[in-house]
Amino acid sequence: MGLTEVVEAFDTIARVYDDTRAGLDPATVDRLGEELARAGGGSILEVGVGTGRIGGPLTARGFRVTGLDASRAMLARAREKGISRLVHGDALRLPFGDRSFDLTLFVHVLHIVGDTPRALSEGRRVARSGAVALVEPADAARPDPFDAPESNPHALVFEELRRRGLAVPPRTGGSRILDRELLRTYPPDRLVILEDTEVTEPLARQLEPIARRANRWTLRIPPEQLEAAVAEARRRIGGRIVTYRRVLALAFWNPPPGPPG
């Protein structure tokens, strides 16, 4: 997906985005705020602010959040949540001077921008204390149940769509898998765990974003084909329950060296 297609996709799903994504619980937001404050983050640029799911709670906790996003529809939702400093822009060409903020925050956006090194470089450039990202690192203590194709609802839907001759991305798995790749490819200077909890839920719940056409990869799929693929995935999943560990962490990349002093 090129940038134009990505922006169009997020403009389309903005109206249902919040309804199909779980927000952070207050305790996790408190921990996030503590770590950001400890890192000197009074003023924060959130790149890919989206609907303000993170920026809104941080603003309510006293942080000076500036949100940047390429989707005007997502920015409109963020504005409704009280984020007044909003900028329409590109993560790869941030329209700010060097060290304009204390920290740059990324939340599930570095795998979307198309050039992760450049986005990280830009984020570090405009922040005095560097860039941070909210991520889901791998749990070293146990395998991820979603690694098995039969336990990955997204993979089941995409498999059925491919069987029907429709074009879908070759790689699935969502933010959990993409965050592992991010941390492996661009190791942070440090990683701080914010939440580590055991979650038990119906496996079919993971299908809701796709069923409600809130997944950007399926927007071009004919509705009847998508409904049929979701129904087949539900049939294969049945009433299975999944238990997994939800681990959320804050990854820190230090700022680049300052000019010779």
pLDDT (tens digit, 9 = 90+) per residue, 118-161?
999 999 999 999 999 999 997 666 677 777 778 888 889 999 99
Task: Write the single-letter amino acid at 97.
Answer: G
- Domains, the chain, ranges and CATH? 3-253 (3.40.50.150)
What pLDDT is recorded for position 259? 60
Residue 174 has pLDDT above 70, yes or no: no
Question: Given this model, what pLDDT does residue 23 score?
Answer: 80
What are 156's two structure tokens?
């089941």
Measured distance CA(37)–CA(12) in Å, rounded: 34
Place of tokens 């941030």: 94
Pairing verdict, β 64-69 and 85-88: parallel
Report the percentage of the chain scoring pLDDT > 70: 94
Say whether pLDDT at 88 is over 80: yes
The H-or-E segment that residue 62 falls in is none
Residue 172 pLDDT > 60: no
Q: How confident is the model at residue 1 (pLDDT cuts 50, 70, 90)?
A: low
What is the average pLDDT value for the chain, to the nearest integer? 90
- Per-residue pLDDT, averaged over 167-178, amounts to 70
Q: Are 101 and 43 in contact (CB under 8 A)?
A: yes
Of 70-74, 113-117, 178-182, 222-226, where does mean pLDDT reach its minimum?
178-182
- Spatial contact of 88 and 122, defined as CB atoms under 8 Å apart: no
Query: Looking at residue 140, what is its pLDDT?
Result: 61
Phi first, then psi: give them for residue 18, nearest 5 degrees: -65, -30
For residue 260, name the pLDDT band (cuts at 50, 70, 90). very low
